Structure 1
Amino acid sequence: MFIEVYNSCPPLNSLDDQIIVSDNECGNEAGDVCTFSCKRNYQVIGTAEISCLPNGQWTRQQPICIDPSIRCTPQLTAPVNGFFIDECLSFGNFVCRFGCIQGFSLLGSSAVRCDATTRSWSSNAPQCVPQQVNCPALSTPPNGVKDGSCNGYDSFAASTCNFFCNAGYQLQGMRVLTCLNNGAWNGNVPTCVRVVLACPALPTPVNGIITGVCGNNSPPGSTCNFSCRPGYRLIGQSALRCNSDGTWNANIPQCQALTCSRLRTPENGQKTGNCENGTPVGSQCMFICNPGFETIGQAVLICQSNGRWNADEPRCESAIPTCSALDAPEYGTKAGVCDEGAPVGSTCTFFCNNGYRLRGEQRLVCQPDGSWDEEIPICIRQVITCRELRPPANGAIQGTCRAGAMAGSRCLFSCTPGFQIQGEPILTCLANGQWSSISPTCIPLPRVTCSELRPPPNGITSGMCESNSSVGSQCSFSCNPGFRLLGSAVLTCLSSGAWNGITPQCIPITCPQLRPPSNGFASGMCENGSLPGSRCTFSCNPGFNLRGSGVLICLLSGQWNNNPPTCAAVPTTTCRGLQAPQNGVLAGMCGENSPIGSRCSFTCNPGFVLQGSSILTCLSNGNWNSLPPLCITQEITCPALDRPENGIRLGTCQEGAPVGAICRFRCEPGYTLLGKRQLVCQVDGTWDEEVPECREVGRSCPSINPPLFGSVTGNCNPGVENGICIFGCNTGYNLVGTPVLVCLRNGSWSANPPSCRRGRQGCRVPILGTGVIMGYCNTAIGGLCYYGCRYAGVSKRRVDYLYSPNAATSESRSSYLVCREAGQWTGSRIICRPRFPFLYGISFAG
């Protein structure tokens, strides 16, 4: 006897604004049908009629009644890196639900309800913040290597680390370790164990000879040499080496009988005998010319024991002598009878382009023996040079200064200590054979001393730092506790009367940035540059507990007093187990009863690609956030690679290159390769590196002397390619021009050297609005003023203000200003805003 059992459906919610209309008074037994309608001036949202199924489930969710005149403001928008779950309307009693894309989690409430009474949302829309889990760094096994994401900082969830052993060693343990979602590896680091095996005996090939260590039980590293008897050639490697795994490194070679290649039939002639491919040793091939032509070369060729013919193929030439074609010289032309078959007595005349002259005979004549009477002449450039330059008294020269200097050559002048250059320090040889200016002279310098150096704010000086310090004096700088030195700790007085650098600064010791924990947030002074004594407070989202210290303090050492805490989920509901897709695998928390927040990762076998989300997350309703993905077949190829400028590419580089294909690159003479010499097509359809570039071999730039009342530092004497030369001025002088010059590839500087001009002594203390000076503010020319944001009270609660860019623009804001020569501060002033305005009900305009 079979009894059919039906389950009851869950009872429906009752709302004052909702009326149920049904003959059976809307029961919740199988087959019951409930029809919904709303009171006057109300509107149904959802399906108006639902039925109770035998499995105890309603066919649709219960609808709600809304008053279209009641709306909540403002209209909610999906968070960055997030989305709405179902539709989000701003009518009274409507609930908007939120979710985040892969790699992000919600910060705030996942559901926000429009209150019909207050016409406001129950809370602010949540945010989607990044998730990041790292596994610890893995060590390299002795006698082995590791490859992949093994170093901790690059070891994220689902990343892998591969292990390999050196030659003669065998891996014991897992070859590939995977980083799990809980921040741990799925196994231990393997070990490499030495393997010593002997190789078997090698046989002698037919018509061959072996020498060396070739017998049974040959030890690793042994070498067996192969050669062939006369008349045979070796096919394969001539030497085999015994590997540490007991195998020879290649197959046994063979001895193949030598034969000669096919001979071509001469034009205007014939051949007979054994003349084709595979001709055996000792065979003959005979050549005969047609009437009116004579044989040039041997008429009978013999195949020798080395597999080569005893001479080159002969040719058949006309019995009437003619001359061969003549080419025009480079940078020149030809005229007359100069082509192939020129008759005896013909003449060919040669001419050169402007700026070139002819070396050799201008006119050639075809001789009776079929040859021209002279070699083809060449065209050489007419060279214009400059006269010799001599060093000035108390000075020296370098560069191309001798007689015969070519156009474009440069001669550099410098003076001995105690003298300075008067005139142009660099002369250039022009195209008209004249130098660009007259030679400069060296004039004596007045007695040189350096100006006084003052201690920086929050710092002290020691040594020879006073006014009128002599050349060679040194001034040392140090900072007070809680500050560190930015710049050179020791400055030296130069012969130019300038110190060899600018006064260093003492900047506060600060702590690095602290990031909010996953499923939590941080408040207080947590950003990069936090001063000693700053406090950073941590808290977790609903459903998570804090593990670790809730408040961290920045110490005088520049480190936080403890490690950042984490947020652990409080187990409530669990999700069902997931199965691996066909042709794929899964990893992570994927089994039955997976707790809320569990993540299950999917990957496909080689040759297959994932269709769908690669990571599924267990939601608070006990469901996974998406359907499991599939693994589908896809042919993987790599795109075409471009040829680098001034270079060439070799190998498989075109569109559709298969996995494992190699593309090689090489540069033309005068250029050097910057990047990998060969690229490999990977299993994900991408090349393992970017295309390299061919960079011209660089040249040096001329030396730069310090400006009057100033100094230079860096690569200035002489300059090197991409090197920089930094200029500074003495106290009381301002820099006019570019402060930093770069040595370009063509051997010239990026701009003219600047000069030092007497100017203002400093800037006024800046007005920062909502900002506050952080530690100190140097108002001298070239000084820095560091500043940040302060705390302020709102509604009797502490609000954490944050250094933030202007929301209306995308430009980044600097946290310091620089005092310029005009007595003005440069650099954008920051805007200070509440870091978490939604926690305190604060709104502001960008």
Structure 2
Amino acid sequence: MSLGYGAAIAQMSYMVNCSDPGFVGNAIRQVQQSFPERFIYGMSVLYHCKKGFYLLGSSALTCTANGLWDRSLPKCLAISCGHPGVPANAILTGDVFTFGATVHYSCKGTHRLVGNSTRVCREDSHWSGALPHCTGNNPGFCGDPGTPAHGSRLGDEFKTKSLLRFSCEMGYLLRGSPERTCLLNGSWSGLQPLCEAVSCGNPGTPPNGMIVSSDGILFSSSVVYACWEGYRTSGLMTRLCTANGTWTGTAPDCTVVSCGDPGSLANGVQFGTDFTFNQTVSYQCNPGYIMEPATSATIRCTKDSTWDPSKPVCRAVLCSPPPPVAHGAVEGSDFRWGASISYSCAAGYQLSHPTILSCEGRGVWKGETPQCLPVLCGDPGTPAEGQLAGRSFTYKSEVSFQCRPPFILVGSSRRTCQAGGSWSGVQPTCIDPAHNTCPDPGTPHFGIQNSSRGYEVGSTVFFRCRKGYHVQGPTTRTCLANLTWSGTQTECIPHACRQPETPAHADVRAMDLPSFGYTLVYTCHPGFFLAGGSEHRTCKADMKWTGKSPVCKSKGVGEVNDTVTKTPVPSDVFSVSSVWKGHYEHLGKRQPATLTVDCFNATSSQVNATFAAASPLQMKLAGIYKKEEAHLLLRAFQVRGAAEVFGSKPEKENWGLDGYVSSGLEGGGFTFQGDIRGDNFGKFKLERQGPLSSDQDSSHRHPGTSGGSVAAAILVPFFALILSGFAFYLYKHRTRPKAQYNGYAGHESSNGQASFENPMYDTALKPTEAKAVRFDTALNTVCTVV
């Protein structure tokens, strides 16, 4: 029981009121308090019998803490003097023998009365005066003085000078003269003897008991007791008044019935420590549990030592299975109170809104159930001088393109909306056959463009920024076969760090990364590999760059197997059951931590994981892994034990791990690091434990991947240039009827392979057939951004 609850009980004890105990016939009641009468805890009420009555029971009653009087009401019984006795040859007039009653004596015939002719019953239960007697009829003789009730007489002669002796039975006391002598005047000496019963006095009323019946307080009288309801005794319930003026035995000890401790509830709290008659015990279930039956929250101790009703039980609250979602699945199998679940969608579908349902209350899911809607790829756009056929842009929808004559289509003539929300193939353009150059890509503000090689297909322009500005985006762009520029538009942004020199045989790309800042990312030219330095450098607050300038070395014969490279980050680096160990920062201190992946959806890249630190901290996290950026934001949707570890429970909607995955040297593993979203938290760093599976590693087992990837990335547009030139040659030197040009399509598949399609006329002059040349190259990531 809490201190607050105990204090409340202590305070209540001074406000308890007992009911009015009532009045007793022929008695006067005295109360400690004046009108109006209130019978509060600790107050006593006194009873006094009126004159002519005696008290049987307790004269004082006290109000107890449970609101009951400690004793039963007493009784005021009329005082009785008993039969006064009738001497020989006398006549008694009067048949009432209680207090105040009067009896009269007279003698028969010629007998003369000696003594008081009138006697009165007094308050001490004795008759006034002595019993009179009647004289004899013959001279020299006295009349028969009689024998007292419950007594005996020794001597039968009544003549002058005769002596009589009187005695009483056991339990009676002699009042009057024990010896009497017959006098000459015919009267007896002394007073007429009387045998009065011994009085045992008021037997009293025991606490928590009462007198059921009594026939007085004199010798041979009895009194019968009974305990109140809810009390019992093992002693005798009847007492007798003995000859020596005492009551047999003792007053019974009435003890309250006890039902015993009913016991606490599993997963519940018990209130109440008094387990005696009519007392109650209450129960309350812990959060997450419900009481059955609901009406048994309070039980009461009965007079037969049992609890009524029976003790309840606390049953764990379980939510029914969460509502199903078309084209979706439930993430999580714990449906207990306090648990949370989320939803994921099948490939090609996405959640209408991110939702986490929590099992709350009496077993209901709180939160709005989402829908899995088809992925929307958006309008792919209509190429200039071209047409778009198809107006549905959702998952599995297909659109087609064609150009107005004389323009020819370069790119994919048909594109399909894919599960990832992107269109298959390459966005087509309609180009004039007479043109073979790209438009001016433009010069960024505060930047300089170097286009010494012109804008012809395959040519490259270079960008740099003026002093005080740094490049954000690619430093080079290449004119592609579809007369568009590779990459995105370069920008020049002001920054505190001085722009470092671009190393030989390397390209640099700049970007502002969340939680990291302005970062330069380097890639080696085709035929070169990263032999030293840093693949990425970040501008620090002190206006200095992290890491060292990269060194790109040429791949000579026999150097391929000696190349030092970094393992690209696989798309399933967060595979199921993978374990990441490391540390996190809280209040400026590093603490050990472990991240275990519980679920990974290869299609949607959904990651569900458990973040565990010092016991009993455990957090359930969920997020989408962006493999293109190697970025993962895991948000908490279930937090347990945080208050014990952190001192307070963080807001689960705002707490999360926001970081990037980087690769170490080949065979060196992967690191997931970044910032923790939440007050008083800093950074985290976790390293993947154990190697990847053989299937996962197979695509990365070739040494020299970095240089080879760059070489393939450059060779692809080179071959595309050759094919495009050959197409233009056929177009300008055609001498036979031409089939409609179906265009060029370059499809970049998920495994990084590129295929090129170009129409070729066969000997049978079939205008709609085309041959395809396919180049299989492994386009793997060179340097990972972290």
Q: Which has the higher contact order (CA 8 A, sep 6+)?
A: 2
User: TM-score w.r.t. structure 1 length?
Assistant: 0.22
Greater fraction of residues in helix: 2
Q: Which protein is bigger by CA-based radius of gyration? A: 2
User: TM-score w.r.t. structure 2 length?
Assistant: 0.23
